[in-house]
Structure 1
Amino acid sequence: MPPTARFLALGRRALVLWVLFALVHAWLGILNLIGPGQPFGDVLYVYPFWVERGLLDGQWVGIDTSWVYPLLALVPMLAAYAAGPEWYGTVWLGMVTALHAAAFLALLGARAIVPASRAAIAAGWMIFLLLLGPIALGRIDAVTVALGIVAVVLLPDHPRWAGALLAVGAWVKVWPAALLVAALIAVRRRVSVLVGAVVVSLAVVGVGLVLGAGAALFSAVTEQSARGLQVESPVATPWLWAAVAGQGGAQVAYDPALLTFQVLGAGTDLTAALTTPVLALVVIAVAVLGVLAVRRGVSEARLLPVLALALVMSLVLVNKVGSPQLASWVVVPVILGLLLQRRGGESFVVPAVLALAIAASTQVVYPVLYERLLALDPVLVLVLTVRNLLYLALWAWAVSRLAGLLRDPRRSGAYDSHKLTEGASS
């Protein structure tokens, strides 16, 4: 093929990808606005309620009162209110789409010709969003996923900016802290990552204290610890099946304070109380494995994505909160692994396939058929159980690979950060 024709063909690749981006986000936006199951309920009713408590009543969540989210979650919620309550949902979708576009652009890279490997990863993300459904745009998690993707792309060449973005994400919703911990353990330029994260955190805490936040700055942790077992959480699965069978007094009940459905029954209170310390122990154990791998000389390209996936999946699996949007977290460490696998990292084909299956099974349960789940339809409970087993499989894959790196650290050596940003040429 002549060079000009090849250039035009590769240029069309970028156009096709952006058309795919537009179609996927348009479809998900339509599902949120007019689709069945009210998937946009939090954005249309809960987020504006929190914002108006501050604007109209002077009671700011996360500042004057405790809150389930860290302080910076208020920023996108306030931004979506810019055009007033009537346009809140539309502005939210526009804002999230713009953030996703920035992450999509980061994935494609700055070169005129998009490498085939980057194109495949970007297209895979769009397929993941499509399979996950409207929840992919209709929660605050969509903001943190975009920040996380940009951060993992920037990490090799700009670790300070990556650390700052991950800290911003953690102050919006805690889970990006898992990516930050993985970077601080596995990346050679960890001091730069730490500097970026500390600067952002000090700024947030300083502003919060000036605004009078006090202990409310850290209330997201205490608020989560007070929860019961949410219906969709992997930990709740045995009681969900007990409720289907009518055994042990197990049932599904609505918690009006937390706006969630939870399982009740013998042992649920004790399990809910133990889940948080067990989660902390699991995260610490995974982090220790990462530190040991560094000490044994495992390369960044092999360790970083596996450790990031293991930490993120620990937060998903050993968690009494099982909201469907937690499935959206999975894609960030998987994208990181796919970016690095061509340069000596672990193959991330299996995690990518599992992530797609997790997304699809999550949408089956929520939003359209969610009422059937709450009515304890055995088919829906089975689908949810399969989804939770997929979570377990992905966590087990990451932890087993992490243990394998400790057994076989020979393929070590730091990765060439320039290759990550340049990508492959074919």
Structure 2
Amino acid sequence: MPQARTSSPPEPSPARLRRPPPVVCLAVAWLATRALMLWLLLHDEWGPLGGGGVSREVHKHYFRWYVTLTHGGFPVDDPMWQYPPGAGPVLLSPALLSPSWLSPALPSLTYFEAFVALTLAADALVAMALVRVGKRPGRSLHGAVFWIAGLPLLLHIPLVRYDVQATALGVFALLALSRSTRACGAFAAAGALVKVWPALTLLGTPRGRTTREAWTAAAVSAGALLLVLSLAFEHPLSFLRQQGKRGVQIESLGGTALALARRAGWPGKVRYQFGAMEFTGPYVSTVAALSLLLTAAAFCLLLLWRLCARRWTEATPYDAALCAVLLFTVTSRVISPQYMIWLLGLAAVCLTSRHTTQRPVAALLAAAAGVSALAYPVLYTQITGGTWTGCLVMLVRNGLLIAAAVLSFRRLWRSSRSPTSDSRPHTGQMP
């Protein structure tokens, strides 16, 4: 009998054999984009890149606080110091890369160089965490792609702000939730002591045991860390007296309204105070109070969502964290360009899950990040001068943030209430 002919599987094409793995492509992209960001930082003195103003934060303020912290105390009566006590160890950390205290013969970096190096290390850890989660079954590498490609939209600003370190703690808190609720709470607590907002990463934890464990771990960790910081440094809560004095920053929603009012004849002025360019003049305090009321309203909306939510997917805690931070950012009296780092990081976490509802929100945030870099540092003189160009740029940026906030909350609400939601009924545990 003739033997049956068996067909051999087609051999892969040479082009397909040579295609590098996605992780290698992401690593190359990270190296290339971060090299570009470093190049921009080296040319920071160029006018369109800020005229040296972007890196001045580390050279002038961070280093001054570093010197104060090395003497065992937080800055007191310094109007520029507005950060929780957890920021202290972050600002002291560049000393780890300056080992001259071990031996004068050892080479050491300057404070500025060490700070940038540690910021890049934190950035790389975020990217690696997103890649690791994205490679799990049912997950996606889109989050890693978004973080690697999105951060350079802010030019070199992320390298000289400690918001990358704070964002790393918030990202780690969310990514740890599916494996260890206690680790999630601990990371959230550490982040909250550094920059406050990472506490919002716990908003979307499912009811029941998951919430109890995560929130309890956060409370215990925050108490322990605050105790250690109180024993190590004097005046750990000195930042509170400065927060209440802040006015309306020119890049906030209220600032945009006041800039337009100034074009119509309002006599207010722009002044540098509390580390930002803020408006002074009639009705500024009213606008600031209105911003606080909007923040309170945002909190009530999030609380209402929490009470009414009935269904969770693996992405719900991620989506809720992004929505919460976005709402608090939009209603704040201050919307500095580095705040976009937080939102890009949280959006990247959302995109690691195929169940997220925040994909269009992430696209809006990427656009807002690009416009933020246009506002600062490229066109900052137009913003501070209140020209029509400056007003238009801020209207676009803040319009994108408002649209993202409204869309984020709407999609979060529907996903946790809709009978067709792709999730199991509430059990108090992560799916």
Q: 1:197 aligns with which of 211, 215, 218?
A: 218
Q: Which stretch shows the higher mean deviation, 158-167 or 357-366? A: 158-167
What's the CA shift for 1:240? 1.0
Question: Which one-letter code corresponds to 1:355 in the other structure?
Answer: L
| Partner SS state of residue 261, structure 1 | strand
Q: 2:295 aligns with which of 269, 276, 279?
A: 279
Question: Which one-letter code corresponds to 1:154 in the other structure?
Answer: A
Q: Which stretch shows the higher mean deviation, 34-43 or 203-212? A: 203-212
What's the CA shift for 1:369? 2.0
Return 5+ residue gaps in structure 1 as ranges: 421-426
Q: What is the rounded CA distance, in whole Å, between the counterparts of 1:150 and 1:277 in structure 2?
A: 31
Q: What is the rounded CA distance, in whole Å, between the counterparts of 2:280 and 2:133 in structure 1?
A: 52
Question: Which one-letter code corresponds to 2:292 in the other structure?
Answer: T
Aligned match of 1:247: 265
Q: Deviations over 1:207-247 (max 9, x none)?
A: 1332464xx4444444222200011111221101122x151
| Partner SS state of residue 358, structure 1 | helix
**Is the contact between residue 358 and residue 408 of structure 2 (CA under 8 Å) also seen in structure 1?**
no
Aligned match of 2:190: 168
Question: Which one-letter code corresponds to 1:53 in the other structure?
Answer: T
Q: 2:281 aligns with which of 253, 265, 277?
A: 265
Q: What is the rounded CA distance, in whole Å, between the counterparts of 1:127 and 1:198 in structure 2?
A: 35
What's the CA shift for 1:365? 0.8
| Partner SS state of residue 110, structure 2 | helix
**Is the contact between residue 187 and residue 304 of structure 1 (CA under 8 Å) also seen in structure 2?**
no
What's the CA shift for 1:348? 2.7
Task: State yes or no: 1:357 paired with 2:367.
Answer: yes
Q: What is the rounded CA distance, in whole Å, between the counterparts of 2:79 and 2:391 in structure 1?
A: 36
What's the CA shift for 1:399? 1.7
**Is the contact between residue 229 and residue 263 of structure 1 (CA under 8 Å) also seen in structure 2?**
yes
Q: 1:140 aligns with which of 149, 162, 186?
A: 162
Q: 1:76 aligns with which of 80, 86, 90?
A: 90
Query: 1:116–1:4: structure 2 CA closer, same or farther, 3 Å change rule?
Result: farther
More helix by share: 1
**Is the contact between residue 186 and residue 300 of structure 1 (CA under 8 Å) also seen in structure 2?**
no
Q: Deviations over 1:361-388 (max 9, x none)?
A: 0110111221222122311221111111
Q: 1:304 aligns with which of 299, 317, 330?
A: 317
Question: Which one-letter code corresponds to 2:74 in the other structure?
Answer: W
Aligned match of 1:339: 352
Q: What is the rounded CA distance, in whole Å, between the counterparts of 2:426 and 2:160 in structure 1?
A: 37
Task: State yes or no: 1:15 paired with 2:29.
Answer: no
Q: What is the rounded CA distance, in whole Å, between the counterparts of 1:247 and 1:63 in structure 2?
A: 36
**Is the contact between residue 13 and residue 114 of structure 1 (CA under 8 Å) also seen in structure 2?**
no
What's the CA shift for 1:318? 0.8
Q: What is the rounded CA distance, in whole Å, between the counterparts of 2:67 and 2:321 in structure 1?
A: 37
Question: Which one-letter code corresponds to 2:272 in the other structure?
Answer: Y
What's the CA shift for 1:53? 2.1
Q: What is the rounded CA distance, in whole Å, between the counterparts of 2:300 and 2:85 in structure 1?
A: 25
Q: Which stretch shows the higher mean deviation, 353-362 or 118-127? A: 118-127
**1:15-414 correspondence to structure 2 within 5 Å:** 15-35=24-44, 36-37=49-50, 38=52, 39-55=54-70, 59-61=73-75, 67-82=81-96, 83=98, 87-109=110-132, 118-183=140-205, 189-211=210-232, 213=234, 216-243=235-262, 245-255=263-273, 258-293=274-309, 297-301=310-314, 303-340=316-353, 342=354, 345-405=355-415, 407-411=417-421, 412-413=423-424
Question: Which one-letter code corresponds to 2:256 in the other structure?
Answer: T
Q: What is the rounded CA distance, in whole Å, between the counterparts of 1:403 and 1:370 in structure 2?
A: 37
**Is the contact between residue 164 and residue 200 of structure 1 (CA under 8 Å) also seen in structure 2?**
yes
Query: Number of matched residues?
Result: 405
**Is the contact between residue 95 and residue 111 of structure 2 (CA under 8 Å) also seen in structure 1?**
yes
Return 5+ residue gaps in structure 2 as ranges: 1-9, 101-107
Query: 1:121–1:211: structure 2 CA closer, same or farther, 3 Å change rule?
Result: closer
Query: 1:188–1:350: structure 2 CA closer, same or farther, 3 Å change rule?
Result: farther
Question: Which one-letter code corresponds to 2:266 in the other structure?
Answer: G
Q: Report the TM-score when normalising by structure 1.
A: 0.85
Query: 1:114–1:307: structure 2 CA closer, same or farther, 3 Å change rule?
Result: closer
| Partner SS state of residue 263, structure 1 | strand
Query: 1:117–1:28: structure 2 CA closer, same or farther, 3 Å change rule?
Result: farther
Q: Which stretch shows the higher mean deviation, 148-157 or 60-69? A: 60-69
Q: Deviations over 1:290-334 (max 9, x none)?
A: 2211xxx21233632332222111211110012111111112332
Q: Deviations over 1:73-127 (max 9, x none)?
A: 111211114428971221111111111211211111179x788963332122111
What's the C-alpha RMSD, in Å, of the aligned pairs?
3.3
Q: What is the rounded CA distance, in whole Å, between the counterparts of 1:217 and 1:283 in structure 2?
A: 26
Q: What is the rounded CA distance, in whole Å, between the counterparts of 1:95 and 1:368 in structure 2?
A: 26
**Is the contact between residue 248 and residue 279 of structure 2 (CA under 8 Å) also seen in structure 1?**
yes
| Partner SS state of residue 301, structure 1 | coil
| Partner SS state of residue 321, structure 1 | coil
